Chain A
């Protein structure tokens, strides 16, 4: 009897280990194009993993025009775990032909040998993009992806409430803090200029970069990590001060709580990628038409620099059996004039310049604001080239955790920076990279 009990215990505990080590590569369970070995002239099917909203409309357009190269789209859910899913699946030889990644995730796709080089076929299309955008997909002189959309940061504000109380739209962060005080004193005293969503690493990386921080830089064969820099510290100290003086709310972003505060007019601005004006409409349906777009406040008056938040690329995987066709698809989808116009139609902020010019219908959040897209296009011109490192996932997770802990414990969020720095450097070293001290 004893043995049996013991075995039950073993079984129970071993089950944990299995549940934890289970491989996630079998997503969708569909057979890859690898199976339909092509005889020339026979139609092929390319597998594509992409989470972009409405992208299926563009894929349908391709499929209708190209019966010989069909694309089968799978939406692999929330984008936090997707990079690992793609890497794991490709290592297992079961990956898609085409995948989507954020700009920050592309270096890890290159290093994991998942993204295939497309330098030659990309070359004729390079002129379609601003040089800073081409830099985002180029590593060691080789191109690994086709930019789809970009997320230069902008600020949306509640035009109606700003008008009602006569608040000025801040153009510098200093003014931002002053207006924040006015807003706290106005009305019932339950309005905030903004929410400090400390967990939103993506946004704060962009904001520190706006202030001049370079989280990762390449120096010859070495990576230099400078997350705990003066620029980053200044940005976080600014927000910490705002939190301390109760000038901003501090609830996790994207939660029901945040949604209701946004919808009820308790939070009056939102700094995010310019694409957010399309997404926000479904979160704050009661406030449609009450928003306007503006530039993100600046650190130095008159000096306009714009960081990124979000934006993504399509790339061909190394496991694809039809890399040429796959590259053709993503070049048409994103870089060709026809494709870029199509992206504008599905409310993306296209990375291709032609696409930006063709944005005509104002975003869903501000259906009357004809100035929004022209402003966004102007903003996009002030973005600057940035370098993403091999492990932004580690940096983002550490940032979210450490800032969250600081907020919970009531300590300064500035103290999170050295911890994030250490986590990123440790991870790089453990992976075998050379890291400059």
Chain B
């Protein structure tokens, strides 16, 4: 289907320069090549997606009446979607997710870019060690990282709070209302900055050196080189990592679910994914969870396409 649609265009491109070079009967080869990807797409993505959509139109309903009637799987139409769209708590959780994204993504991208540029600057020392050190948190599972940070946040277990108390300063509880977004964003940035930094740094290393030589001859400072040469070159990498970061922020789950057991600030439907988990695995309503998932997936899809379209037009131009 969609996959095969790209084939003719790709062929046209490669076949364009030598006109009508060989016009053979259609070969099976392209289909064989695209086969693994198509099979993967169908089995791993399409089938479960269709099953999820199927589930979202069904529900467990009591039949036979009575206080102890038995639940049966029935078709319920758009009931689950209606519940999804009329649940004020789900809407509120979407709002919280956006607040979190607006805080987390710029900090993550900004610090990754800054670190990459600093590491790339000719005067920095201990590059290898620093790079590894910044990348290391990425290798730590999110739950473990969140637990560790949770212990650092909790006033009674945190060494920071202990030290502050010794010198007579009362630190605020970062797991309280307001600061909790920062507390979660901090964990995500700590875990993700190394990964994004490596992508940007690798991309920086591939910029041909003559650009810098030319700029220096023209009298550019390192700062100007970074601004006028490195960042424009980095744009594809920035779009890629930015995209990952946005999707990551919209899927925020492991940090809040881990911290939730440590504070009353994060309740069980704080973010959309938590609400979906609760519906499916605590309230035994897989069907509602499926409807919520479909809605959320569509939302992220639309958002991703918008982000991609805008950034493609701005940075990659039509020629690439």
* Chain A: minimal CB distance from B312 (Å): 7
B264 part of interface (Cβ distance < 8 Å): yes
A15 part of interface (Cβ distance < 8 Å): yes
| CA–CA, A413 and B250, complex, Å | 31
- Taking a contact as CB atoms closer than 8 A, the residue among B41, B177, B298 that contacts A409 in the complex is B177
Q: A199-B264, A401-B268 are in contact. Are A4 and B68 (CB under 8 A)?
A: no
Contacts of A251 in B (CB 8 A): 156
B247 part of interface (Cβ distance < 8 Å): yes
A260 part of interface (Cβ distance < 8 Å): yes
Which of chain A's residues 219-244 have a Cβ closer than 8 Å to chain B? 220-223
B45 part of interface (Cβ distance < 8 Å): yes
Contacts of A222 in B (CB 8 A): 67
A20 to B293, Cβ gap below 8 A?
A: yes
Among the listed stretches B113-121, B197-205, B227-235, B281-289, which one makes contact with chain A, having 4 or more residues with CB under 8 Å of it?
Answer: B281-289
Contact residues of A: prevailing secondary structure: helix
- Taking a contact as CB atoms closer than 8 A, the residue among A110, A391, A401 that contacts B269 in the complex is A401
Contacts of B320 in A (CB 8 A): 1
Q: A108-B284, A140-B68, A393-B283 are in contact. Are A12 and B304 (CB under 8 A)?
A: yes
A304 part of interface (Cβ distance < 8 Å): no
Contacts of A407 in B (CB 8 A): 264
B296 to A16, Cβ gap below 8 A?
A: yes
**Who on chain B is nearest to A428 by CB?**
B62
B262 part of interface (Cβ distance < 8 Å): yes
Q: How large is the interface on B (under 10, 10 to 19, 20 to 34, 35 or more residues)?
A: 35 or more
**Who on chain B is nearest to A88 by CB?**
B286
**Who on chain A is nearest to B5 by CB?**
A3
A3 to B2, Cβ gap below 8 A?
A: yes
B17-45 vs A: 1/0 string, CB under 8 Å? Answer: 00000000000000000000000010011
B142 part of interface (Cβ distance < 8 Å): no
Contacts of B281 in A (CB 8 A): 24, 81, 84-85
Contacts of B62 in A (CB 8 A): 111, 431-433
Q: A14-B49, A88-B286 are in contact. Are A223 and B67 (CB under 8 A)?
A: yes
A21 to B48, Cβ gap below 8 A?
A: yes
| CA–CA, A257 and B158, complex, Å | 10
A254 to B284, Cβ gap below 8 A?
A: no
Which of chain B's residues 236-269 have a Cβ closer than 8 Å to chain A? 247, 251, 261-265, 267-269
- Taking a contact as CB atoms closer than 8 A, the residue among B41, B61, B267, B280 that contacts A11 in the complex is B41
Q: A9-B308, A111-B62, A111-B70 are in contact. Are A427 and B48 (CB under 8 A)?
A: no
| CA–CA, A7 and B293, complex, Å | 19
A434 part of interface (Cβ distance < 8 Å): yes
B282 to A84, Cβ gap below 8 A?
A: yes
B69 part of interface (Cβ distance < 8 Å): yes
A221 to B55, Cβ gap below 8 A?
A: no
B70 to A397, Cβ gap below 8 A?
A: no
Q: A4-B6, A88-B286 are in contact. Are A434 and B65 (CB under 8 A)?
A: yes
* Chain B: minimal CB distance from A17 (Å): 4
| CA–CA, A7 and B2, complex, Å | 8
Contacts of B69 in A (CB 8 A): 111, 432-433
Q: A16-B296, A17-B52, A397-B278 are in contact. Are A9 and B45 (CB under 8 A)?
A: no
B284 to A3, Cβ gap below 8 A?
A: no
| CA–CA, A6 and B305, complex, Å | 7
Which of B66, B276, B284 gathers the greatest number of chain A CB atoms within 10 Å?
B284
* Chain B: minimal CB distance from A218 (Å): 4
| CA–CA, A218 and B9, complex, Å | 67
Q: A17-B297, A432-B62 are in contact. Are A5 and B283 (CB under 8 A)?
A: no
Contacts of A140 in B (CB 8 A): 66-68
A300 part of interface (Cβ distance < 8 Å): no
| CA–CA, A108 and B2, complex, Å | 44
* Chain A: minimal CB distance from B67 (Å): 4
Q: A3-B6, A5-B312, A14-B297 are in contact. Are A408 and B265 (CB under 8 A)?
A: yes
**Who on chain A is nearest to B67 by CB?**
A218
A21 to B289, Cβ gap below 8 A?
A: yes
B300 part of interface (Cβ distance < 8 Å): yes
A80 to B177, Cβ gap below 8 A?
A: no
| CA–CA, A24 and B276, complex, Å | 14
Q: A3-B6, A223-B67, A261-B156 are in contact. Are A255 and B262 (CB under 8 A)?
A: yes
Q: A221-B66, A394-B283 are in contact. Are A18 and B52 (CB under 8 A)?
A: yes
**Who on chain B is nearest to A266 by CB?**
B156
* Chain B: minimal CB distance from A406 (Å): 9
A37 part of interface (Cβ distance < 8 Å): no
A16 to B297, Cβ gap below 8 A?
A: yes
B106 part of interface (Cβ distance < 8 Å): no
A43 part of interface (Cβ distance < 8 Å): no
| CA–CA, A59 and B163, complex, Å | 50
**Who on chain B is nearest to A1 by CB?**
B320
A83 part of interface (Cβ distance < 8 Å): yes
A65 part of interface (Cβ distance < 8 Å): no
B127 part of interface (Cβ distance < 8 Å): no
Contacts of A431 in B (CB 8 A): 60-62, 71
B136 part of interface (Cβ distance < 8 Å): no
A400 part of interface (Cβ distance < 8 Å): yes
A165 part of interface (Cβ distance < 8 Å): no
Which of B2, B45, B83 gathers the greatest number of chain A CB atoms within 10 Å?
B45
Contacts of A254 in B (CB 8 A): 261
* Chain A: minimal CB distance from B71 (Å): 5
Contacts of B61 in A (CB 8 A): 431-432
B71 to A112, Cβ gap below 8 A?
A: yes
B48 to A18, Cβ gap below 8 A?
A: yes
**Who on chain B is nearest to A108 by CB?**
B284
B41 to A84, Cβ gap below 8 A?
A: no
B304 to A13, Cβ gap below 8 A?
A: yes
Other than the known A3-B9, A14-B49, A430-B83, what 5 A-B pairs have Cβ atoms closer than 8 Å? A17-B293, A17-B296, A255-B261, A397-B278, A431-B61
Contacts A/B (CB < 8 Å), 16 sampled:
A1-B320, A4-B6, A6-B305, A10-B301, A17-B294, A20-B280, A20-B289, A21-B55, A21-B290, A111-B70, A113-B70, A221-B65, A256-B157, A397-B268, A400-B268, A431-B61
A interface vs B, CB < 8 Å? 1, 3-7, 9-18, 20-22, 24, 80-81, 83-85, 87-88, 107-108, 110-113, 139-140, 198-199, 218, 220-223, 251-252, 254-257, 260-261, 391, 393-394, 397, 400-401, 403-405, 407-409, 427, 430-434
Q: Please list the 6 inter-chain residue pairs (A to B) with the smallest Cβ-Cβ separation, ordered nearest first.
A: A404-B264, A432-B62, A401-B267, A432-B61, A17-B297, A21-B52
